[in-house]
Amino acid sequence: MEYNQSTVNYWKAFVLPYTFALEELKTKFEIMNREAQFLEDYNPFEHIKTRLKQPESIIKKLERKNLSPTIENAQTQLQDIIGIRITCCFVEDIYHLKQVIENREDMEIVEVKDYIANPKQNGYKSLHMIIKYPLSLNSGTKEVFAEIQLRTLAMDFWASLEHKLYYKYEGNIPDYLKDELHDAAMKAEDLDNKMATIRQDIDDIEACSNQILLPL
């Protein structure tokens, strides 16, 4: 679909504040990680990836939802124009980071979908949050929504593979591959559980060592 220059500029102006908000949010999460590393010798997450829907993608999504492709609908009906994916080493870190976000005053969680506690039928696991973020501009404060996905490294690897297969088969993944994916999801869960056990063992050993080293 082609658009005249006026329409293109109109949509670019709409997306611009989301670009700024994405940059600010990415920086804030990186600061959270660095602060925890400095104060607690602990990294809440390993990687952060960001994505900003472009006007053409926004318009297509509105049309899929049977909505008119207008700025108003984009602003009120779409909450994932900004996408942030954060990968953690352990499931425990995901819920810790969720708590950190809940306690912040500069962003508000408006929706949580816990696909870790309640995985999707195909085996997908992740913690999804929609947050509302007040962006300060010269023209005033603009509230924008962003979707945050929190996953372990194992969950992210599985989701990446499932995503590739989904598009390769145009949404019609063969049944035998669906079974293989579900089995892989169970193995990814086993890996997360095993890593959590190892982490707890290490913490217990360190705690015992610290007690032994305490002066009498």
Query: Does the pLDDT at position 179 exceed 60?
Result: yes
How far is the C-alpha of 103 from the C-alpha of 210, rounded, in Å? 31
pLDDT digits (tens, 9 = 90+) for 86-127: 999 999 999 999 999 999 999 999 999 999 999 999 999 999
Residues designated catalytic: 147
Assigned CATH for 5-154? 3.30.460.10
Task: Give the model's pLDDT for residue 211.
Answer: 67
The model's pTM is: 0.89
Domain spans, the chain: 5-154
pLDDT (tens digit per residue) in 143-161 = 999 999 999 999 999 999 9
Phi-psi region of 192 (alpha: psi -120 to 50; beta: other; left: phi over 0): alpha
Angle formed by the axes of helices 175-213 and 153-168, to 10°?
170
CB-based burial label for 168 (10 Å; 0-12, 13-18, 19+): exposed
